């Protein structure tokens, strides 16, 4: 075997690399269109530990990968809209290290583009019907945004609302909920556990027609959500392989098709829900196609009407609905802030290929891999690429 010994090959390292999240990851769904969504990848990298630092770098011009460590900010008082806000400029990736939490919220407004938020807990002050602040607001011709592996709760108005002609947005592996911080469900003067509003008004056709392009993928509407999962006006919205299990006693509906909306809802799971698909509130929607969904213990409508748009992006990988609940609500690797970056995230990876004979007549590739983690540590490992199975990578003898 020359310089290689078979018993020193470490296949587990290949598995670790293939499943670890990276700042270079690319989104599925609508965020993959219009040139794709890369955030701050390739730009300067910083690690922040305070709200002031996060606000500073998030609003700076240029590309930044911003690693968030620890808990920061204040969510404020429900009904007063006084929590901390992070205002983003274009070309930013905000990536949470394990356990990272932002109390307050994020604002993506006025045409910002190319934003990635991943692996964060985001906490608002509690839902109240005062037309307050969202945990995340996306508003005003914002383009190319990827929200991934977030755990969002208790937004004062909504948890994540998208309005005013925004496009190319994907929400994936995200968990939405409300807690006891939000008052009992209801309408005026009570709670506003209304999670996701896509399009704010029937009267905004001049701005919103042919916009509001959004994908919800592997997303979980968990306890406390009364409605808007999502509620859609105008947009072309794809709800795929999502989980609906909210146990809110005041729940009104899950997906609501409203004025000029065009919705594809496929391969989702609804467990114990009221009005999983609402097509009776507003008959002026374009279409909602409901296919291959699983309903357990639900009451109310479960069918769509009309033929929706066909997504122009690459096909999503869809789990069979009878296995989806176990996948999405897995506390270790499911929806929410569950990403594994490794001991610390690898923020730079360089590989050089060389060849060497290992005595079998083949001429395999060796890749000398070196990487720098966010905490500044450096690793360097040579790997052997199996010429018969290129996807397999083995560590060589050190």
Q: 271 φ, ψ to 5°?
A: -120, 115
Neighbours of 134 (CB within 10 A): 24
Q: Is 223 exposed, middle or buried (0-12, 13-18, 19+ CB in 10 A)?
A: middle
Known catalytic membership, residue 233: no
Beta-ladder partners of 216: 171, 239
Q: 265 φ, ψ to 5°?
A: -115, 110
How far apart, in Å, do the first and last CA atoms of the chain sit? 14
List the one residue out of 208, 254, 197 whose CA is nearest residue 234: 208
Structure token digits, residue 334: 């499911």
d(CA 391, CA 163): 42
What is the C-alpha R_g of the chain? 23
69, 123, 193, 228: which is the annotated catalytic residue? 228
Task: From residue 331, give the alpha-carbon distance in Å to each of 9, 18, 235.
Answer: 31, 20, 32
Q: Is 276 exposed, middle or buried (0-12, 13-18, 19+ CB in 10 A)?
A: buried
Task: From residue 276, give the alpha-carbon distance in Å to each of 26, 236, 280, 281, 292.
Answer: 30, 19, 12, 13, 14
Q: Active-site residues: which are they?
A: 228
């Amino acid at each position: 075997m020359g310089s290689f010994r078979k018993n020193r090959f470490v296949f587990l390292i290949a598995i670790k690399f293939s499943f670890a999240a990276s700042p270079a990851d690319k989104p599925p769904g609508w965020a993959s269109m219009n040139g794709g969504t890369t955030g701050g990848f390739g730009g300067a990298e910083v690690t922040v530990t305070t709200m002031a630092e996060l606000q500073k770098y998030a609003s700076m011009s240029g590309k930044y990968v911003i690693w968030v460590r620890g808990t920061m900010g204040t969510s404020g008082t429900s009904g007063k809209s006084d929590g901390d806000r992070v205002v983003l400029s274009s070309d930013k990736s905000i990536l949470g290290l394990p356990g990272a939490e932002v109390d307050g919220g994020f604002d993506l407004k006025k045409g910002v583009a190319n934003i990635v938020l991943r692996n964060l807990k985001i906490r608002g002050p509690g839902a109240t019907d005062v037309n307050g602040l969202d945990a995340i607001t996306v508003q005003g011709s914002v383009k190319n945004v990827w929200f991934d592996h977030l755990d969002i709760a208790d937004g004062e108005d909504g948890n994540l609302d998208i309005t005013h002609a925004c496009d190319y947005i994907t929400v994936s592996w995200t968990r939405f909920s409300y807690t006891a911080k939000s008052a009992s469900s209801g309408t005026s003067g009570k709670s506003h556990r209304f999670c996701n509003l896509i399009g704010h008004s029937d009267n905004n056709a001049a701005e919103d027609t042919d916009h509001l392009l959004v994908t919800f993928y592997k997303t979980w509407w968990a306890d406390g959500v009364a409605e808007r999962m999502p509620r859609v006006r105008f947009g072309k919205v794809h709800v795929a392989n999502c989980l609906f299990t909210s146990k809110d006693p005041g729940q009104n509906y899950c997906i609501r098709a409203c004025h000029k909306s065009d919705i594809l809802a496929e391969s989702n799971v609804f467990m114990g829900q009221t009005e999983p698909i609402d097509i009776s509130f507003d008959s002026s929607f374009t279409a909602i196609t409901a296919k291959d969904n699983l309903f357990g213990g639900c009451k109310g409508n479960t069918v769509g009407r009309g033929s929706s748009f066909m997504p122009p992006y690459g096909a999503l990988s869809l789990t069979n609905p009878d296995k989806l609940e176990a996948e999405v609500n897995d506390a270790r690797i499911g929806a929410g802030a569950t990403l594994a970056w490794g001991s610390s995230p690898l923020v730079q990876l360089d590989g050089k290929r060389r060849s060497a004979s290992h005595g079998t007549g083949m001429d395999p590739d060796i890749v000398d891999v070196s990487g720098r983690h966010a905490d500044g540590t450096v690793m360097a490992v040579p790997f052997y690429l199996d010429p018969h199975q290129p996807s397999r990578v083995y560590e060589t003898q050190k």
